[in-house]
């Protein structure tokens, strides 16, 4: 098996970075251990986005390789990139945090959304979203199942992890660092629970718990079967692969 720990995170863009939300859920599995619920520090039963980012940094700092699947969009469609002259994912993240400072204390997505011109149209989809039946645009807010708010809240934390010096030689942000993952590297990847969760019974878990649990369970199962290498390399043409290196890809979309 390629990894030692498998972490699934169900995300939420509600409220502020410090707010504790029942919709934020974290589950962690081991090579021989089914996913277990992870509770935040300080005795609380609910996570904040700031705490989840700190937890991810701790897990990624380990010498043992881990894989983390997070349920929000990791990038924007190529039309957006062309519109604002953004050549790669790092340029996109740098630009995004300047216009959507949603990791700053007390700042919510809603507080910077009104009148924010650094956005896109709901008709704009990434290639990976076009390859799925239910994935929605990262610009589609305020509908059931939308990921826009969680994406706009989560991207600055990816930027924070990406720019943490101690992680730069340890972590592979897939697929932006390439579709092939070197042995011994930890991975952070975009997950979409709708792809995995129906194959597992809920066993009394809430919908948010089930989403996080199923991401961790699927990552572990795929690694045990030796299938992750294939999922890391979806059957894309050279043009599609170049596009996905900018827009990102959902792990498991084939």
pLDDT of residue 43: 81
Question: What are the phi and psi torsion angles at 35 (to 5°)?
Answer: -60, 135
CA nearest to 54, candidates 24, 79, 23: 24
Task: Answer yes or no: pTM beyond 0.85.
Answer: yes
Using the CB atoms, write b or e for 154-188: b if 16+ within 10 Å: bbbbbbbbbebeebeebbbbbbbbebebeeebbbb
Model confidence over 204-231: pLDDT tens digits?
A: 999 999 999 999 999 999 999 999 999 9
Give Cβ neighbours of residue 224 (< 8 Å, ≥ 6 apart): 1, 31
pLDDT of residue 146: 87
8 Å CB contact between 86 and 176: no
Model confidence over 83-103: pLDDT tens digits?
A: 999 999 999 999 999 999 999
pLDDT of residue 1: 92
Angle among Cα 53, 252, 198 to the nearest 5 degrees reads 90
Question: What are the phi and psi torsion angles at 187 (to 5°)?
Answer: -130, 140
pLDDT of residue 187: 98
pLDDT of residue 97: 98
Please spell the DSSP secondary structure of the chain, one letter per residue.
---SEEEEEE----S-TT--BTT-EEEEEETTEEEEE-PPSTT-SSB-HHHHHHHHHHHHTSSS-EEEEESS--S--HHHHHHTT--SHHHHHHHHHHH--TTSTT--HHHHHTT--S---TT---HHHHTSSS---TT--SSTT--HHHHHHHHHHHHHHHT-GGGTTTEEETTTT-SS--TT-EEEEE--GGGTGGGS--TT--HHHHHHHHHHHHHHHHHHTT-HHHHTS-S--HHHHHHHHHH--BTT--
Q: And the tokens for 220?
A: 């572990």
CA nearest to 210, candidates 220, 199, 221, 222: 199
pLDDT of residue 174: 98
pLDDT of residue 250: 98
Regions in the chain scoring below 70 on pLDDT = none
pLDDT of residue 44: 87
Tell me the C-alpha distance between 60 and 48, whole Å.
Answer: 18
Tell me the C-alpha distance between 62 and 2, whole Å.
Answer: 15
pLDDT of residue 167: 98
């Amino acid at each position: 098996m390629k990894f030692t720990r498998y972490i699934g995170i169900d995300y939420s863009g509600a409220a502020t970075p410090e707010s504790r939300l029942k919709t934020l859920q974290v589950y962690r599995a081991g090579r021989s251990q089914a996913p277990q619920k992870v509770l935040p520090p300080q005795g609380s039963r609910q996570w904040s986005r700031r705490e989840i980012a700190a937890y991810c940094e701790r897990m990624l700092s380990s010498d043992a390789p881990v894989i983390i699947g997070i349920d929000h969009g990791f990038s924007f469609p190529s039309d957006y990139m062309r519109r604002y002259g953004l050549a790669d994912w790092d340029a996109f993240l740098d630009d995004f945090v300047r216009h959507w400072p949603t990791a700053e204390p007390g700042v919510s997505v809603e507080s910077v959304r009104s009148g924010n011109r650094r956005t896109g149209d709901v008709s704009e989809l990434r290639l990976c979203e076009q390859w799925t039946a239910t994935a929605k645009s990262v610009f589609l807010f305020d509908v059931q199942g939308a990921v826009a708010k969680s994406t706009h809240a989560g991207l600055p934390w990816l930027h924070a992890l990406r720019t943490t010096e101690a992680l730069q030689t340890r972590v592979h942000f897939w697929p932006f660092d390439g579709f092939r993952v070197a042995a011994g590297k930890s991975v952070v990847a975009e997950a979409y629970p709708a792809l995995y969760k129906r194959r597992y019974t809920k066993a009394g878990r809430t919908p948010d718990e089930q989403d996080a649990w199923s991401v961790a369970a699927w990552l572990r199962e795929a690694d045990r079967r030796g299938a992750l290498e294939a999922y890391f390399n979806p059957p894309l043409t050279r043009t599609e692969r170049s596009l996905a290196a900018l827009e990102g890809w959902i792990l498991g979309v084939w």
